[in-house]
Structure 1
Amino acid sequence: MRAGWNWLKGPEPWTRRMLAGDLVLGGVLALLGLGVEELDNGSVQRMAAGAAAVVLLTLARRRLPATTLIVASAVSPFLPGSLLVTVLLGWSAGRRIVGVGRAMAAFTVAFLAAVVFSVVQAWSDERPVLVIVFSTLMFLAMTVMPGLASRYWSQRRTLLQALQERNGQLMRERVMVAGQARLRERQRIAQDMHDSLGHQLALIAVHTGALEVDPQLTERQREAVGVLRQASVAAMHELREVVGILRDGVEAPVPAEEAQPAARGVAGIAGIVEAARSAGTDVRMTVAGRPRPLVAACDHAAYRIVQEALTNAYKHASGAPISVELRYEDDSLVVEIANGPAAGPGVGAVVSGGQGLTGLRERARLVGGMVHAGGTEGGGFRVAGVLPYGAEPAGVEDIADDFGQQAQAQAQAGGFTVAPPPMDWAAVDKELAVGGRSRAGGVAMGCGIAFAAVVLLVIVIGAGVVMLVGSAGSAMISQEDFDKVRVGESEEAVRKKLPDGDSFMTEGLERKGPERPAGSDCLALLSSDDSGLTTNTVFRFCFKDGKLVDKQAYESEQ
């Protein structure tokens, strides 16, 4: 049972909602088919067979688009109630049959089946040419036109999806090219930093190391020189880390013998505070709350905030007391560095690019925190940072492009993913029709299909009117013609005066009205003078043993 269900679903997904929709659609078409059967005076068995065929063909159209189209075209002449489902099957076959050759073959076989079986079914009418023309027009209007429209719509949507995928690939390639360019630039900057700053810092470390063992220096001077040497060594280590990040995107490994006792995080804040005290600066550090671990990015940001704030205090408020406070709140770590007004003249001209606080704000923003810097009431300066315990990457700005995919590609290149935006097919259509020629071509194709459909519909209606007029000529006589016929005349003479009555308009009329003479063969015709809307005047002629034995005129409901 399950294998059969999977086979029926076919390659495309078939949800319960789609199944319910197909059942409802099949039920509606079956009800409409019952109305068609009622107009054609179909039997109960034929009605049931037509309804079952409509439902089964509707359910199987996804798995067997060509087969269902051919079967429906073949059975519709015998089951008029299944005629309407050919519109749905033509639409489905136009979408689902892969390849132009296969689609043409399927529609051709369906057309031949519809024409051949229509001729077989109406062979007694002796009008095969008219049946072939009418069947051809009906097939074009009810099957071919929906198939063409469906195939055009399906191919256009496939083209748009291919353009979307191609655009996404181009966006990813563009991000990769930009990343390669950034990497090359970073490597160049890293090389410049290593060649220039590394050499200068190495000279400082060598000279301060030699100066530290100079016997002519006092103990106080040796301590100051030792602080300088340690600072130069630390600067060399940090330069090595920065160069490693610029080159490879990861921190460069530090040899064990050169590793610093404190990490570049919250644990290292005490070390830089102690180094500041050793250099003669009045620095006090307090810790409040229960210490909690931070992610690496936040931990490093806290260290940099304290380091930059102390550096600014050295530059602009030399000799002023500095307080460093770490407060572990419930949801974040608060780092606050405040200094009083300068105790004396500054240290003179200092090298400053003016980007320190700006860089701190950007660093904090990238981890979901914030930094505030400003003066205090006593003339001092205060730097405070709020950092979450868990990093929250900053959002990616939405950058509009042809299909709205550039932001997604940049987010993936940055190491995290975002949900793809919903596809705006209206925008895609607008962007696809760049030139007037393509837009005009699409409009022309749509107008051509619509015009062809209207022309075919008019032709079908015209052919139906012609057939109706022909049927009326074979089914109607006037009251005067009825009065001319006398009971007792030979059957051959009477039939020469009357139409043959071979029309769908007279089907079943001979069984209505007064009781027929036993063993007689009757011919029922309609009155051409009748103008009733709900009843028809029927003229019935009954023959027996080669003579007209009875003629009746009676009213029959339509």
Structure 2
Amino acid sequence: MNVSSRARTGWRLLKGPEPWTRRRIAGEAALALALALMAGAVGLFGGDPLRITAVALAVVVLSLLRRSLPVGVLLAAAALSVPASEATPLLLVAAWSAGRRIIGAGRALVAFSAAFVIYAVLGLITLWPIPQLFLIAVFSTLFFLAVAVVPGLTSRYWSQRRTLLRAMQEHNAQLLRERAMVAGQARLRERQRIAQDMHDSLGHQLALISVHTGALEVDPELTGRQREAVGVLRQASVAAMHELREVVGILRDGVEAPVGPDGARPAPRGTAGIEALVTAARAAGNDVGLRGSGEPRPLAAAADHAAYRIVQEALTNAYKHAPGAPITVELRYEPDSFVVEVVNGIVDRAAADQAGEVVSGGQGLTGLHERARLVGGMVHTGPTDDGGFRVAGVLPYGTADAATFVDAPDDFRQQSPALPLGDGGPVVDWNIAEKELGMSGRSRGGGVALGCGIAVGAVVLLAVAVGVGLFFLIGSADKGMIDPSAYDRIKVGTSEAEVRKELPSGDTVLVSGLAGKGPAEPEGAQCLVLMSSETGDNVNTEPVFRFCFKDGKLIEKKSYDVAR
């Protein structure tokens, strides 16, 4: 294997399964640098630059490998944190990554158990002989729980919770899509049924009207005025047929009706068709005036159609409820909106009585309000000061610069206000598990809060462990510490029994590791090393007293300093 192949293999090992974006590179570099600086700052008290550098480099390498090799880094961090306590922050970070990335609860349990065994065994080897084994075991277990197990379990819970929420959202989005499909199919079937009924009933009646008015129009006994009125009726019936065909096509297929077999096209259903409405009304004998102001501007298709329907419905109401009254249609292109206004004058009571009772569905004006609302506009209806009636609509222009006057509310409230899983995430039904699914929308902020909570919990648990350890250490301090005056009172040659009565037993962890660090012990002697109750002049050394016994007597006592 050449150098380039080894480099590629090493890079794949370092890269892991996740892509290295710029943000991740910056974050990984900052974290590795922070861990190395913490390890170096703590290691400065040891005074060995080579050791500090080696530990810092090991921390940097393990930090970069923790994503691709979570188990190996966890075990290595546990082993490194025993001889080099300054690498303890790395153990916390490695436990967090391992808890999140180890697949399977069994593998995670084995990995953390192995890390604890390595930590405990290396601790025993480093501190052996240990006078108070139970105290050290309890303290080490609590420390490992606080630094490794708690972050690992919390990270694993957080990761599994996010996975569960994502699965819930995907399942919920699938249910929404299926529900929408079922509702769409039901609406399509109902629309087809309505379209068929309209075609069979209204189409037949309009065809009869068109045929009879066409025959009546050529009747020689009619006067010119009557023939003109009949022509208007025939044209109205033909236009109604075209509109019915268009509506049926939209209901059935969702598209406008195509050109008829006779080549006739539907009349314009926008502002371009308003003039034709006015012309037809005049031909029917109504006094209708049309005025316009402002520079014409294009409207959105829905708004353009709404303007046509407002004029059509207003003229129809005027025909029904104010026959013979003058009607004014005004189109105003304002800077920010399009205004269409239809005003009829005072009702001619004689003409109204002659017209008789009119048939009205009572939903025309209500439909105008709803139609205008859906395009972001509004409609005003009401009497005028002179006793007439006015219908005025205010509609926005094109969608690019539309001025929305009325917001259409979300009647169904089926969508979350934000996509929880980034761009293109599934639409969430806000009625299902609202609190749980809503929390996923704040996953980043929740992760920060969770991380802070874990840190606080780990610090509290660590403080408890330190408190327990200090309690036992302070209680056993008298077993490994004497005053310098006591050292001076003891004379060489005194029997071992008398000397041991005046000295503490030394059965404490405080003196573990002090033996063998001073001058060579006398051959065949058993030595007791105790700490001094007074501190030395150098912060890097610890003053100790050593008493060596042989054949039941004290044969040597020495006072010296050992490195901390």
Aligned to 2:255, what secondary structure does the other structure show? Answer: coil
CA 1:551–1:425: 2 relative to 1, 3 Å:
farther
Distance of 2:236 and 2:84 partners within structure 1? 97
Kept in 1: contact 2:132–2:508 (CA 8 A): no
Query: Among 394, 403, 415, which residue is 1:405 paired with?
Result: 415
Query: Among 335, 358, 367, which residue is 2:366 paired with?
Result: 358
Give 1:297's aligned residue. 302
Distance of 2:438 and 2:338 partners within structure 1? 49
Give 1:389's aligned residue. 397
Give 1:158's aligned residue. 163
Kept in 1: contact 2:529–2:544 (CA 8 A): yes
Kept in 2: contact 1:95–1:154 (CA 8 A): yes
CA 1:418–1:538: 2 relative to 1, 3 Å:
closer
Q: Deviations for 1:275-305, whole angstroms, at most 9, x for unmatched residues?
A: 1121111222222222222222122112111
Distance of 1:553 and 1:408 partners within structure 2? 73
Amino acid in structure 1 at the alignment position of 2:492:
R
Give 2:443's aligned residue. none
The 5 A counterparts of 1:377-526 are 377-391=385-399, 395=407, 397-398=409-410, 405=415, 428-429=435-436, 480=486, 483-486=489-492, 505=511, 525-526=529-530
Q: Deviations for 1:196-222, whole angstroms, at most 9, x for unmatched residues?
A: 111111111111111112222222221
Give 1:85's aligned residue. 90
1:267 aligns with 2:269: no
The 5 A counterparts of 1:34-433 are 37=43, 41=46, 43-122=48-127, 138-255=143-260, 257-260=262-265, 262-343=267-348, 344-346=350-352, 347-391=355-399, 395=407, 397-398=409-410, 405=415, 428-429=435-436
Distance of 2:32 and 2:89 partners within structure 1? 10
> Which 5+ residue runs of structure 2 have no aligned equivalent?
1-6, 440-452
Distance of 1:303 and 1:293 partners within structure 2? 14
Distance of 1:113 and 1:340 partners within structure 2? 98
Out of 370-379 and 24-33, give the one that drifted further.
24-33
Amino acid in structure 2 at the alignment position of 1:367:
V
Amino acid in structure 2 at the alignment position of 1:322:
I
Aligned to 1:274, what secondary structure does the other structure show? Answer: helix
CA 1:2–1:242: 2 relative to 1, 3 Å:
farther
Aligned-pair CA distance for 1:314:
0.9
Aligned-pair CA distance for 1:316:
1.3
Aligned to 1:379, what secondary structure does the other structure show? Answer: coil
Kept in 1: contact 2:172–2:429 (CA 8 A): no
Amino acid in structure 2 at the alignment position of 1:158:
T
Aligned to 1:257, what secondary structure does the other structure show? Answer: coil
Aligned-pair CA distance for 1:509:
10
Distance of 1:375 and 1:62 partners within structure 2? 75
Out of 180-189 and 206-215, give the one that drifted further.
180-189
Aligned-pair CA distance for 1:336:
1.7
Amino acid in structure 1 at the alignment position of 2:383:
G
Amino acid in structure 1 at the alignment position of 2:530:
L
Kept in 1: contact 2:483–2:534 (CA 8 A): no
The alignment's C-alpha RMSD in Å is 5.0
CA 1:264–1:423: 2 relative to 1, 3 Å:
closer
Aligned-pair CA distance for 1:349:
0.9
Matched-pair identity in %: 55
Aligned-pair CA distance for 1:84:
3.6
Kept in 2: contact 1:168–1:405 (CA 8 A): no
Aligned to 1:372, what secondary structure does the other structure show? Answer: strand
Distance of 1:418 and 1:371 partners within structure 2? 38
Aligned-pair CA distance for 1:510:
9.8
CA 1:114–1:400: 2 relative to 1, 3 Å:
farther
CA 1:419–1:155: 2 relative to 1, 3 Å:
closer
Kept in 1: contact 2:330–2:340 (CA 8 A): yes
Distance of 1:151 and 1:418 partners within structure 2? 24
Aligned-pair CA distance for 1:194:
1.3
Out of 47-56 and 215-224, give the one that drifted further.
47-56
CA 1:177–1:406: 2 relative to 1, 3 Å:
farther
- Report the TM-score, using the length of structure 1 for normalisation: 0.75
Aligned-pair CA distance for 1:256:
6.1
Query: Among 509, 526, 539, which residue is 2:545 paired with?
Result: 539
Distance of 1:102 and 1:295 partners within structure 2? 62
Amino acid in structure 2 at the alignment position of 1:149:
T
Q: Deviations for 1:69-126, whole angstroms, at most 9, x for unmatched residues?
A: 1211222223221134212221221112222243234334433433454455456779
Distance of 1:550 and 1:378 partners within structure 2? 128
Aligned-pair CA distance for 1:381:
1.7
Of structures 1 and 2, the one scoring higher in RCO (CA 8 A, sep 6+) is 2
CA 1:294–1:259: 2 relative to 1, 3 Å:
farther
Give 2:448's aligned residue. none
CA 1:387–1:134: 2 relative to 1, 3 Å:
closer
Q: Deviations for 1:371-405, whole angstroms, at most 9, x for unmatched residues?
A: 2222222222222222222146875534687xx63
Amino acid in structure 2 at the alignment position of 1:277:
R
Distance of 2:426 and 2:409 partners within structure 1? 14
Distance of 1:189 and 1:305 partners within structure 2? 24
Kept in 2: contact 1:134–1:464 (CA 8 A): no
> Which 5+ residue runs of structure 1 have no aligned equivalent?
410-416, 433-445
Aligned to 2:392, what secondary structure does the other structure show? Answer: strand
Distance of 2:173 and 2:465 partners within structure 1? 48
CA 1:84–1:473: 2 relative to 1, 3 Å:
farther
Give 2:4's aligned residue. none
Amino acid in structure 2 at the alignment position of 1:428:
K
Out of 154-163 and 353-362, give the one that drifted further.
154-163
Aligned to 1:166, what secondary structure does the other structure show? Answer: helix
Kept in 2: contact 1:320–1:342 (CA 8 A): yes
Distance of 1:327 and 1:459 partners within structure 2? 81
Aligned-pair CA distance for 1:64:
3.0
Aligned length: 520
Aligned-pair CA distance for 1:334:
1.9
Aligned-pair CA distance for 1:235:
0.6
Distance of 2:253 and 2:415 partners within structure 1? 27
Aligned-pair CA distance for 1:549:
10
CA 1:206–1:108: 2 relative to 1, 3 Å:
same
CA 1:216–1:405: 2 relative to 1, 3 Å:
same
